Chains A and B, each alone.
Chain A
């Protein structure tokens, strides 16, 4: 068996993985990246709308700063975020955008002078400052106080990924594409590498490194209907979970994006509404201002999706052979705007559903889109429960998004975390010793070889594609926007039964090489376990927070649930273990988000009392030591200087 050794092993070569790899390469370390697909095909490329950073160059972003960005992010999270991590993110986002400009991203720039835009359904003329001419501009996105989302038309993920991968090529970083990590190799609570299967020829090999980084993206494809690329099956979070030592955080926190198109579930960007697009019902009536008078179409995604569903439940949806939907109206934006700034959207509508958005309404409905949960890491990006293992980007629960992430914050997170966590990875790998325990690696590899052998040669009758569909249907039916105890019980029961059937999967194809059926079969146990954790976690969380909405527990309960779910699956256990930790140090006290409505049950601790227990409680659940003490990056009460708090008592 081949064993390949490097200083740093990065699993996943989308934006987060590549940026972290580059940080290590810059530090003079030998880096190997693995990816299911060529790096430029990663799901990062599909991100359309943009990246939030408080550059404040557009006139509608005037006066913006990291504190306001942080405020929007914490409110958006429904106070589920780690406020210090959100602060690290907001502080570094402007630097990351400028760095990406330096690396070659052709950001759209400010053009001085007047231009017509649509704001809250009305055509308005804004006048951009001539002195800002040529600086990075921004568009409006949901849940933000300022126009803050930097963009290149509606191909932002594409251009940033291409610039990033160009740099990776320049630095000659080793990339092995069409490779899938099947398990992590670890000894005495430290990760020393991974067992990997080649999707080209089926070879099993091992990679050893001083530091291992997981950046494989989200678990959206556990759901039957998702905007995600088909490779987003939670493969990276699965291998962390299956160590039995690393917990996954807030897996029940799943985002549903308001505008997946019907049918096909392909996303059209929030930039559509940011640029003035409107949501209409069956009567072509604009309903959002009734529900959200202030933010209207641009409340946070959890709120807009909930309002859309609510409106459809009132009988205002449009019936179609593909299920109920609402309309997105972009017609008033005009041909020029739709064929330049929203060109991907235009193409998607034309090619996939035969709708011309210049003249016609686009059928949309809320669709699974983003995984707030993932591998729980400390603020340096190191996994709980395992030294030398890092995670970043969508696969991680770092956790700046809490129970709802704002549009434009995840694409920005990939490059910011890549920069921040990337440096921590490099610092760790610089001092760590390589544990080249090849015989241990072979033992881990043998487990996977045996598993493959079992899948090919057992006498079971389960078909892996059918099992995957069942998982997707259960989550879509019961762990969607509106959740109930009753529905979640059904999901938990159904998924438990599926877990029992996973061992009876029989791979019918014995073709050597890629064998796509075998690839799917190797993933199914990890998928079923994560689906179970989503449903069970949602059942246990008897409150409504952000995207997690319990009809039977409609209030946000800060007294009992201002915490983060940690789920781990001890080796050989039938059931996962659920623990809860404080969300992190609080600086902005839990309050009203300013949109979304809803009841709140206030916390019964003071901020000081809450904050006093954070560090110890997190350490007790496996948090690794951080390079700096907890809370040092969170300036105390900086928000008091900002509207709307400035005038508060």
Chain B
């Protein structure tokens, strides 16, 4: 017999006067291969037409639908109810600005992060439309791609102890982005520039190493590897900084 699922969903509409955060309960009969994308749509269409949440690709690619599912941040679209108990608790991701119910503003945070880190190739070269592309070793391309696979879902930041205390902390997503550009030979930023960007409490030294980010990343990004690469780089960055101080 099909299970009856109970959804306990966090509700709050900040645009509604006198609304208070509360929990609404919905029941749904489980169908085979039911995922939370379909479940939430059914709840919206039949029971709560004002229920707010975000889905776009519904295929685990776009990063829109991260939420706290039974206390753990992950992508709702690829979470099957069959992997969960009869009662399912859904909360919005912490840390990000709440837009309503399960919807949070990850987009603006990640846009701001990209700006802070100058998340683009720093080069003085102009594009020449008549020239053949610059060569790159395929292994290097693959290494960049490994970090580039981040879908900005926000799970790592939501799970991060440091981020909850220091709202400016770049989080695993930010540090991974730095790694991505450090790996890239097209980016001309030198050790000193990287050092200034990340050798602070909101950068790589803010991380207290609990690595919840690594546990929850839905794309299995090689975060441990990236962090240790950045730390080693910073080590040589420190040497440069000390040398400059000596000269002064």
Say yes or no: A508 contacts B49, CB within 8 Å.
yes
Say yes or no: A104 contacts B63, CB within 8 Å.
no
Say yes or no: B145 contacts A153, CB within 8 Å.
yes
B134 on interface, CB distance cutoff 8 Å: yes
Residues of A within 8 A of B85 (CB): none
* Top-7 shortest CB links A-B: A38-B107, A134-B135, A513-B15, A511-B50, A517-B49, A106-B144, A509-B50
Residues of B within 8 A of A102 (CB): 121, 125, 127, 133-134, 186
Known contacts: A37-B107, A514-B103. The answer to whether A229 contacts B133 by CB under 8 A is no
- Partner-contacting stretch, out of B109-117, B164-172, B197-205, B226-234: B109-117
Interface residues of B in 37-95 (CB under 8 A from A): 44-45, 49-52, 54-64, 78
Tell me, in angstroms, the Cα distance from A582 to B210 when the chains sit together: 65
B35 on interface, CB distance cutoff 8 Å: yes
Tell me, in angstroms, the Cα distance from A290 to B177 when the chains sit together: 49
Say which residue of B44, B59, B120, B133 sits within 8 Å of A166 (CB atoms): B120
Residues of A within 8 A of B52 (CB): 513-514, 516
Tell me, in angstroms, the Cα distance from A136 to B135 when the chains sit together: 8
* Chain A 123-160 interface mask (CB, 8 Å, partner B; 1/0): 00000000001111100000000000000110100110
**Please, could you name 13 A-B residue pairs with CB atoms under 8 Å apart, sorted by A?**
A39-B107, A42-B62, A45-B61, A97-B133, A98-B131, A101-B133, A102-B121, A103-B120, A153-B145, A162-B148, A230-B55, A511-B16, A512-B15
B33 on interface, CB distance cutoff 8 Å: yes
Say yes or no: A200 contacts B99, CB within 8 Å.
yes
Total number of A-B contacts with CB less than 8 angstroms? 192
Tell me, in angstroms, the Cα distance from A133 to B140 when the chains sit together: 13
Say yes or no: A231 contacts B145, CB within 8 Å.
no
- Partner-contacting stretch, out of A347-355, A374-382, A440-448: A347-355
Say which residue of B51, B137, B141, B186 sits within 8 Å of A516 (CB atoms): B51
Interface residues of A in 514-532 (CB under 8 A from B): 514-517
Known contacts: A104-B121, A511-B50, A512-B16. The answer to whether A110 contacts B138 by CB under 8 A is yes
How many interface residues does chain B have, given as a range?
A: 35 or more
- Partner-contacting stretch, out of A167-175, A278-286, A425-433, A622-630: A167-175
Question: What is the CB-to-nearest-CB distance from A323 to chain B, in angstroms, rounded to a whole number?
Answer: 13
Query: In this complex, what residue of B is CB-closest to A203?
Result: B15
Number of interface residues of A (CB under 8 A): 72
B residues near A (Cβ < 8 Å) are: 13-16, 32-33, 35, 44-45, 49-52, 54-64, 78, 99-100, 103, 106-108, 110-111, 114-115, 118-121, 125, 127, 129, 131-138, 140-142, 144-145, 148-149, 151-152, 184, 186
Question: What is the CB-to-nearest-CB distance from B117 to chain A, in angstroms, rounded to a whole number?
Answer: 10
Known contacts: A230-B55, A351-B78, A513-B15. The answer to whether A107 contacts B121 by CB under 8 A is no
Tell me, in angstroms, the Cα distance from A397 to B13 when the chains sit together: 40
Say yes or no: B186 contacts A104, CB within 8 Å.
yes
Residues of B within 8 A of A266 (CB): 58-59
Residues of B within 8 A of A153 (CB): 142, 145
Residues of A within 8 A of B54 (CB): 37
Main secondary structure of the interface of B (DSSP, over half): loop
Say yes or no: B129 contacts A99, CB within 8 Å.
yes
Say which residue of A103, A155, A165, A230 sits within 8 Å of B56 (CB atoms): A230
Residues of B within 8 A of A306 (CB): none
Known contacts: A514-B52, A516-B44. The answer to whether A106 contacts B58 by CB under 8 A is no
Query: In this complex, what residue of A is CB-closest to B44?
Result: A516
Identify the interface centre among B62, B78, B100: most chain A CB within 10 Å of its CB.
Answer: B62
Say which residue of B44, B138, B184 sits within 8 Å of A134 (CB atoms): B138
Say which residue of A103, A110, A231, A351 sits within 8 Å of B121 (CB atoms): A103
Known contacts: A106-B145, A167-B120. The answer to whether A41 contacts B63 by CB under 8 A is yes
Query: In this complex, what residue of A is CB-closest to B101?
Result: A514
Tell me, in angstroms, the Cα distance from A97 to B133 when the chains sit together: 9
Residues of B within 8 A of A509 (CB): 49-50
Tell me, in angstroms, the Cα distance from A106 to B138 when the chains sit together: 9
Residues of B within 8 A of A135 (CB): 132-133, 135
A sample of 9 more A-B contacts (CB under 8 A), given A41-B56, A137-B138, A230-B55, is: A40-B63, A40-B107, A40-B151, A106-B136, A201-B15, A229-B58, A352-B35, A517-B44, A517-B50
Say yes or no: B64 contacts A37, CB within 8 Å.
yes
Residues of B within 8 A of A109 (CB): 135-138, 141
Tell me, in angstroms, the Cα distance from A95 to B131 when the chains sit together: 9
Say which residue of B14, B49, B111, B186 sits within 8 Å of A513 (CB atoms): B14
Question: What is the CB-to-nearest-CB distance from B2 to chain A, in angstroms, rounded to a whole number?
Answer: 13
* Chain A 514-557 interface mask (CB, 8 Å, partner B; 1/0): 11110000000000000000000000000000000000000000
